[in-house]
Amino acid sequence: MYVPDKVLTNAYFESIVDTTDEWITTRTGIKERRMLENGATSDLATKAAEDLIKNHNLKPEEIDAIIVATVTPDMFFPATACLIQERIGAVNAWGFDLSAACSGFLFAFQAGCSLIESGQYKKVLVIGADKMTAITDYTDRNNCILFGDAGAAILLERSEDLSLGLQDFILRIDGSGKDKLYMLGGGSLNPPTKETVDKKMHYIYQDGKAVFKVAVKGMADVSYELMQKNGLTGDDVAFLVPHQANMRIIDATGERMGLSREKVMRNIDKYGNTTAATIPLCLVEYYRDGKIKKGDKLVLSAFGAGYTWGASLVVWAI
């Protein structure tokens, strides 16, 4: 994983917009987030990949594919995956970027597992990385307090033991959510012009209240449905690994699943919403702290722009 050094505290936001530490903490659970001052999403992702390569004694040439979940690619093209491939020396890999906003990592994880299951690939690198500060309007108090920058990576490997790894999933998209959370400018619909800049169309727009309602229901329902489908109770699940958008959404999902608080991964207080990076960031932190063990059942769960949402049941394999 990689998070930049620069910390933006709630006190900092009190100094730039009309807000308070109390409002941010009680409404979102966020205390701090990180900002990458120089560089782009590929820098966050490359540093995360290098961290994984070092800690897992992985040879870059062994990587068969690289999937990068992001909504803040360095450029429209080439894909961020290509930029990372070159920098880490993954000379035998192919790869691509995947756009599913806050569900990006969950969708990329599923795509990576499918590559492994096809039998054609042995090692797939899945990265969630976003430089959200690049598309955040720091005069908009509704949104600027929410987002931060980070990258985190996991390695999927082939195993003969089918009781390990991805066991089941439910993933969904619903385009009727397109008007609630988006960035309008810069694409083929609204190519960049002076007007798109003046109208602030290159920033995140979110109808927070509307998204909150569907996110809280969507994430809790899909996580519970996945448990039911697999005959699991709260006792069977070691951890919920939820997308970190709002502490209230995280808590509601954990409660619906019948999980005690310590079984719900959270680091939103330190990093805010890092979009595609939130779930792998939690996984890496909890794993390194010795909290996840081989055989633990994890439910990964997310909700994001699109709408996109879903949950995956994973048995931790190392």
Residues with a catalytic annotation lie at 102, 243, 273
By the rule CB under 6 A, 28 interacts with ligand UT7? yes
Taking the least distance from each CB to ligand UT7, the nearer of 220 and 232 is 220
By the rule CB under 6 A, 246 interacts with ligand UT7? yes
By the rule CB under 6 A, 27 interacts with ligand UT7? yes
| Residue with token string 């697999």 | 230
By the rule CB under 6 A, 299 interacts with ligand UT7? no
Length of the chain as a residue count: 318
Rule CB under 6 A: which of 94-123 touch ligand UT7? Answer: 102
Chosen residue from 211, 238, 240, 281 binding ligand UT7 by CB under 6 A = 211
Q: How far is the CB of 283 from ligand UT7 (least distance, A)?
A: 18
Q: How far is the CB of 107 from ligand UT7 (least distance, A)?
A: 14
Q: Which of 152, 138, 195, 160 is nearest to 285 (CA)?
A: 152
By the rule CB under 6 A, 245 interacts with ligand UT7? yes
Query: What one-character-per-residue DSSP string does the chain give?
Result: -B--SEEEEHHHHHHHSS--HHHHHHHH---EEEE--SS-HHHHHHHHHHHHHHHTT--GGG--EEEEE-SS-SSSSS-HHHHHHHHHT-TT-EEEEE--GGGHHHHHHHHHHHHHHTTS-SEEEEEEEEEGGGG--TT-HHHHTTB-EEEEEEEEE--S-TTSEEEEEEEEE-GGGTTTEE--SSSSSS---HHHHHTTTTS-EE-HHHHHHHHHHHHHHHHHHHHHHTT--GGG-SEEEE--S-HHHHHHHHHHTT--GGGB---HHHH-B-GGGHHHHHHHHHHHTT---TT-EEEEEEEETTTEEEEEEEE---
By the rule CB under 6 A, 80 interacts with ligand UT7? no
Per CB under 6 A, the segment of 45-53, 72-80, 207-215, 253-261 that binds ligand UT7 is 207-215
Q: Compute how many residues bind ligand UT7; rule: CB under 6 A.
A: 19
Q: How far is the CB of 54 from ligand UT7 (least distance, A)?
A: 30
Pull the structure tokens for residue 250. Answer: 């995280």
Phi and psi angles of residue 79, each rounded to the nearest 5 degrees, phi first: -60, 145
Per CB under 6 A, the segment of 23-31, 50-58, 224-232, 251-259 that binds ligand UT7 is 23-31
By the rule CB under 6 A, 267 interacts with ligand UT7? no
Q: Which residue is nearest to ligand UT7 (CB)?
A: 208
Rule CB under 6 A: which of 130-149 touch ligand UT7? Answer: 141-142, 145
Taking the least distance from each CB to ligand UT7, the nearer of 25 and 92 is 25
Q: Which amino acid is at 275?
A: T
Taking the least distance from each CB to ligand UT7, the nearer of 52 and 183 is 183
By the rule CB under 6 A, 273 interacts with ligand UT7? yes
Per CB under 6 A, the segment of 2-10, 33-41, 89-97, 210-218 that binds ligand UT7 is 210-218
By the rule CB under 6 A, 19 interacts with ligand UT7? yes
Q: How far is the CB of 170 from ligand UT7 (least distance, A)?
A: 18
Taking the least distance from each CB to ligand UT7, the nearer of 108 and 215 is 215
How far from 166 is each of 65, 145, 203, 259, 317, CA to CA, in Å? 18, 34, 35, 21, 10
Which residues make up the interface to ligand UT7 (CB under 6 A)? Answer: 19, 23, 27-28, 102, 141-142, 145, 208-209, 211-212, 215, 245-246, 249, 273, 303-304
